[in-house]
Structures are given as C-alpha cells and as structure tokens.
Amino acid sequence: MTEPTLSRPGRPRDPERMRRVIDAASRQFLEQGFERTSMDAVARESGVSKMTIYSYFPTKAALFEAVIGQRTDTVFDLDAGETLEPRAPAATLSVIGRRFLALMRADEVMGRHRVLFAAAGIQHEACAAFFRQGPEKLIGGVRDYLDQAVAAGALRPHDTRVAADQFLSLFLGGAHIRAMLGLGKPSPEEDARLVQANVELFMRAYGAT
C-alpha cells in the first residue's frame, strides 16, 4: 500500500496510456502470437510512442507477461448470475457447461491458449501463472459445487476432484480442437447438444437417483 500519489517532481504518469498499451498488446499477442507481433505495431495501434512502451516494460517478453497476468483473474466466476443449487445438479451442471463452453469459444480465450501453448518451453512463469489462475481455479470451483451436491445427497462420484476434471474435459473434444485449429466453431445448436449430452453422461454415471 504505497501512496497513490507519491508527489514526485515532474510530470506524473498517465495511467490511461498504460491501459491502451496493454489493450493493444493483448489484442495483437492473442490474435497473432508472440513472434508475429511487433512492438512498432503495438505502438501504432495504442497511439503511444515506442519509447514510452519501453519506459514501462523493459522488453517485449515483459510486456507479454503483463498481458498474460492481465484479466486472467476476471475470466470466470462460477457464482456469477445464477446461484448454484446443490439439489438440482443436472440443471446446475447445464448452466456451468453452457458458460464454460461460451468461455472456451471466445476468440480471446482461444488466443490465450494458443499463445501459451506455443510459449510452453520459453515463458515458464506466464504458463504457470495462467494454469493456476485459469484451469486449476475452474476445476476447483466445479469441485466445490460437486462437494455441495454430494453433501445434499444429489450426486455420488468417487472423487469430486476427479469428477470435476472429467466434467470440464468433456467440453474439450473434437469440436474444441477443430475451433482451436481455426477450422470453424460449432453452431450454437451443436454446442447446446454437446452440453446436454455431457450432462446426461455425467448424471447417468454419478447421479444419485
């Protein structure tokens, strides 16, 4: 908690500029990847001088890490909107599935996955941060819900951690790979059927009825 205004001599920094840089860099990194994005292009799109960017971030990799750390926390809040009803797991899992699928179909999210997979050996810290704040947190959230449903007697999985992973992974099959390869996304109807099929599989296996 340092002073918000340190009141140093000279002109203060403009936080708006920083935001514009991150926004432009985010768009370009996630759309074109790390190597194909140039600092000049980021400067041009953000309307900020390249020198200013380098005054914030010492190197291109640093800007990249800032982009990855950005917004990863706001990705997904399971409890947003509808409340998760422990006694109606089929309906609740449908909601979770629909929202997870909408998330995974977003261009920004697919871009993030692509660029981080490509950076696997090189940007270890960014990959680790993403995994913690993304997939791991999501699985944990679903697991928490499953625990409630088990406590309510509505589900009987062997292991809620494993079951949460299984449920979410069901949405990462052929259609997702196809989309990740840039070969087109499924229609909303196909996605709706996917949600239904996956919830049904899950409930058949782990339902208490």
In sign, the C-alpha dihedral spanning 172, 140, 166, 187 is negative
Near a copy of itself by CB under 8 A: residue from 47, 153, 173, 188: 173
| CA 47 to mean position of chain CA atoms | 27
Task: State the distance between the two ends of the chain, measured CA to CA, in whole angstroms.
Answer: 53
**Segment interacting with a copy of itself (CB under 8 A) among 19-27, 38-46, 73-81, 198-206:** 198-206
11 binds, among DNA, a copy of itself, none (CB under 5 to 8 A by kind): DNA
Q: In the range 90-129, which residues lie near DNA by CB under 7 A?
A: none
**CB 76 to DNA: min, Å:** 31
Which C-beta is closer to a copy of itself: that of 21 or that of 138? Answer: 138
Q: How distant, in Å, are the alpha carbons of 5, 77, 134, 196 from that of 185?
A: 47, 24, 22, 18
Under rule CB under 8 A, which residues in 37-66 are in contact with a copy of itself? none
- Retrieve residue 189's tokens: 């109807």
Binding mask 36-65 for DNA (x = CB under 7 A): xxxxxx-----xxxxxx-xxx-xxxx----
> Contact region for DNA (CB under 7 A) — 6-14, 67-75, 144-152, 170-178?
6-14
**Shortest distance in whole angstroms from residue 44 CB to a copy of itself:** 20
Q: Does 106 bind a copy of itself (CB under 8 A)?
A: no
Which of 56, 1, 96 shows the shortest CA–CA distance to 24?
A: 56
> Could you tell me if 133 and 76 are in contact, meaning their C-beta atoms sit under 8 angstroms apart?
no
Regarding 79 and contact with DNA (CB under 7 A), the answer is: no
Q: Which residues bind DNA (CB under 7 A)?
A: 7-14, 17, 36-41, 47-52, 54-56, 58-61
Q: Which residues bind a copy of itself (CB under 8 A)?
A: 31-33, 35-36, 113-118, 120-121, 124, 127-128, 130-131, 135-136, 139, 158-159, 162-163, 165-166, 168-178, 180-183, 197-198, 200-202, 204-206
